[in-house]
Amino acid sequence: MSETITRIHLASSVGKQVDVSVAESAKMVDAIFEEMSVGLKKDEVVKIPFFGSFYVRKKSQRMGRNPKTKVDAVIEPRNAVSFYASNKLKAKINNKKD
């Protein structure tokens, strides 16, 4: 596995591409993530063309077990964010022409 791309790395890269300061591009990146979070909280699908879609999956209550103590426990229902990669992104990471 290689290095992790962080928020600051994204901001720096965006800043260079659009010729603005890292501080300004960090605000842009933060605004994008905030808008995505708001949409997901409203149970909306966040679809980014040629990249993929983020969506909320509803996970129902289920029984689980603590692996250390072997005690059964109820896992409460919750929401989980899932990502579905677009075919273009899949092709790109697999070095295939689209």
CB neighbour class for 7 (10 Å; exposed up to 12, middle 13-18, buried from 19): exposed
pLDDT per position as a tens digit, 50-94? 999 999 999 999 999 999 999 999 999 999 999 999 999 999 999
**DSSP, residue by residue, 50-76:** TTEEEEEEEE--EEEE-TTT--EEEEP
Q: Is this model's pTM higher than 0.85 or not?
A: no
Distance between the two ends of the chain, CA-based, in angstroms?
Answer: 25
How much of the chain exceeds pLDDT 90, in percent?
Answer: 93
Q: Are residue 18 and residue 37 in the same domain, yes or no?
A: yes
Select from 37, 74, 47 the least CA-distant residue to 59: 74
Domain carrying residue 16: 1-42
**pLDDT classification of 1: cutoffs 50, 70, 90:** low
Q: Are residue 36 and residue 16 in the same domain, yes or no?
A: yes
CA separation for the pair 25, 11 (Å, rounded): 5
Q: Are residue 60 and residue 81 in the same domain, yes or no?
A: yes
The total domain count for the chain is: 2
Q: Are residue 91 and residue 58 in the same domain, yes or no?
A: yes
Q: Are residue 6 and residue 38 in the same domain, yes or no?
A: yes
pLDDT per position as a tens digit, 3-45? 999 999 999 999 999 999 999 999 999 999 999 999 999 999 9
